Amino acid sequence: MDIKYELKDKTQRRTEPLIPNEPLPFGVLRTDHMFIMDYEDGEWQNARIVPYEDIAISPGAIALHYGQAIFEGAKAFQHEDGEIYTFRIDKNAKRMNKSADIVCIPNIPEEIQIEAVHALIDVDRLWFPQQEGASLYIRPFIFATQDSLGVHPSSSYKFMVILSPSGPYYPAGFTKPIKLLITEKFHRAAPGGTGSSKAAGNYAASLRAGEFAKKFGASQVLYLDTTNTYIEEAGAMNHFHITKDGEVVIPEFVDSVLRSITSESIIELSDKLEMKVTQKRVKIKEFIEDVKDKKITEAGGFGTAAVISPVGEYVFEDGSSLVVGNGEIGENTKKIYEYYTGIQTGKVEAPKGWLRKVERKI
Half-sphere exposure of 269 (CA within 13 A, CB side): 23
Q: Establish if 73 lies at the interface with ligand COI (CB under 6 A).
A: yes
The residues in 232-271 that bind ligand COI, with binding defined as CB under 6 A, are 236
Closest CA to 23 of 158, 131, 109, 138: 131
Q: Establish if 193 lies at the interface with ligand PLP (CB under 6 A).
A: no
Classify burial at 83, counting beta carbons within 10 Å of its beta carbon; exposed 0-12, middle 13-18, buried 19 or more: middle
Query: Which partner in ligand COI, ligand PLP, none is near 261 (CB below 5 to 8 A by kind)?
Result: ligand PLP
The residues in 203-222 that bind ligand COI, with binding defined as CB under 6 A, are 203
Using the minimum distance from each CB to ligand COI, give the nearer residue, 30 or 283: 30
240 within 8 A of 218, measured Cβ to Cβ: no
**CA 12 to CA 9: how far, in whole Å?**
5
**CA 187 to CA 235: how far, in whole Å?**
10
Which range of residues in 96-104, 164-172, 254-262, 289-297 is near ligand PLP by CB under 6 A? 254-262
Candidates 154, 260, 297, 345; binder of ligand PLP (CB under 6 A) is: 260
Q: Establish if 261 lies at the interface with ligand PLP (CB under 6 A).
A: yes
Would you call 342 helix, strand, or coil by DSSP? helix
Closest CA to 259 of 222, 303, 225, 224: 303
Q: Establish if 73 lies at the interface with ligand PLP (CB under 6 A).
A: yes
Would you call 256 helix, strand, or coil by DSSP? coil
Using the minimum distance from each CB to ligand PLP, give the nearer residue, 48 or 356: 356
* CB 168, min distance to ligand COI, A: 11
Q: Establish if 303 lies at the interface with ligand COI (CB under 6 A).
A: yes
* CB 155, min distance to ligand PLP, A: 28
Using the minimum distance from each CB to ligand COI, give the nearer residue, 47 or 257: 257
Closest CA to 241 of 189, 195, 286, 197: 286
Contacts with ligand PLP by CB under 6 A lie at 73, 233, 236-238, 258, 260-262, 302-304
Interacting residues toward ligand COI by CB under 6 A: 73, 203, 236, 303-305
